[in-house]
């Protein structure tokens, strides 16, 4: 027993009354991700890609010392524009949305590019990774889709989906990514551009409760259905407050 009995007492045969609810119906989401600031601006996407290739090329000699690459030599780095991942309505802060596919010599991924009044910016958000150093861990969420792009309270909001992997019974220790990616979980990234510096934060489903989930029928990855053809389950609605805080709704 904790404390002292109050004025209202019940007999041993009476049932306890239990209330379930919450005081804050729009609680702040827990954000365990750090902010990322990007200040580089480019006049064109071609100029942005040229800068990426230069960075990748200069990093190859040191990267080739990584023992996990098993002596594999890098191929020539590349960077090219690809179709934008989502429809987008332009605003004065963010005038258009683009994407590039870049290859650093080993790993390939697509990365979001945002056009602002001061130029093209390579955002921190990347998806569709093909990385030989991927450890194949089920706890990792690999970004796969861009579900939505919108601007709210001066912030560019990207709602994305990442695959969560379940181990295949035939998985062999030491092999590369032999699991079944049977679940797609939703997360979000949001960015604000001020004084030629874009600051981005993300709500990662790897560390937080997902903002939605899709599952392959019968969890059968071998007969996988395109994620776009599957419905979202238990979708969490959210908004970004003017101060940059992600707040859940409902």
Nearest partner of 221 among 152, 168, 162, judged by Cα: 168
pLDDT (tens, 9 = 90+) of the chain, 250 residues, equals 444 454 444 444 444 444 343 434 344 444 555 789 999 999 999 999 999 999 999 999 988 888 677 778 889 999 999 999 999 999 999 999 999 999 999 899 999 999 999 999 999 999 998 888 777 777 789 999 999 999 998 999 999 999 987 655 444 444 444 456 778 999 999 999 998 899 999 999 988 889 999 988 876 666 778 899 999 988 899 999 888 888 888 5
What is the structure's pLDDT at 123? Answer: 96
What is the structure's pLDDT at 13? Answer: 46
What is the structure's pLDDT at 31? Answer: 52
What is the structure's pLDDT at 89? Answer: 95
Cα separation, 54 vs 64, whole angstroms: 16
What is the structure's pLDDT at 168? Answer: 53
What is the structure's pLDDT at 25? Answer: 39
What is the structure's pLDDT at 164? Answer: 83
What is the structure's pLDDT at 220? Answer: 66
What is the structure's pLDDT at 19? Answer: 36
The pair of structure tokens assigned to 12 is 């041993």
What is the structure's pLDDT at 207? Answer: 85
pTM above 0.85, yes or no: no
Angle at 154 between CA 153 and CA 156, to 5 degrees: 105
Cα separation, 128 vs 82, whole angstroms: 13
């Amino acid at each position: 027993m904790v404390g002292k009995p109050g004025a209202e007492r019940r007999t041993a045969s009476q049932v306890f009354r239990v209330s379930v609810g919450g005081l804050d119906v729009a609680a702040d989401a827990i954000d365990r991700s750090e902010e990322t600031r990007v200040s580089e601006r480019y006049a064109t996407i071609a100029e942005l890609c040229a800068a990426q290739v230069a960075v990748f090329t200069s990093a190859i000699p040191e990267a080739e010392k990584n023992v996990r690459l098993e002596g594999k030599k890098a191929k020539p780095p590349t960077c090219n524009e690809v179709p934008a991942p989502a429809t987008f309505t332009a605003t004065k802060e963010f005038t258009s949305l683009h994407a590039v596919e870049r290859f650093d010599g080993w790993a390939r991924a697509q990365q979001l590019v945002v056009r602002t009044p001061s130029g093209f910016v390579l955002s921190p958000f990347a998806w569709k990774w093909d990385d030989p150093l991927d450890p194949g861990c089920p706890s990792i969420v690999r970004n796969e889709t861009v579900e939505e792009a919108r601007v709210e309270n001066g912030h560019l909001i990207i709602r994305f989906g990442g695959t969560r992997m379940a181990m295949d019974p035939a998985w062999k220790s030491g092999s590369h990514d032999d699991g079944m990616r049977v679940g797609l979980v939703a997360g979000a990234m949001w960015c604000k551009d001020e004084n030629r510096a874009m600051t981005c934060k993300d709500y990662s489903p790897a560390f937080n409760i997902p903002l939605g989930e899709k599952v392959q029928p019968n969890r059968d990855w071998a007969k996988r259905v395109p994620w776009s053809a599957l419905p979202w389950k238990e979708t969490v609605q959210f908004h970004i407050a003017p101060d940059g805080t992600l707040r859940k709704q409902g």
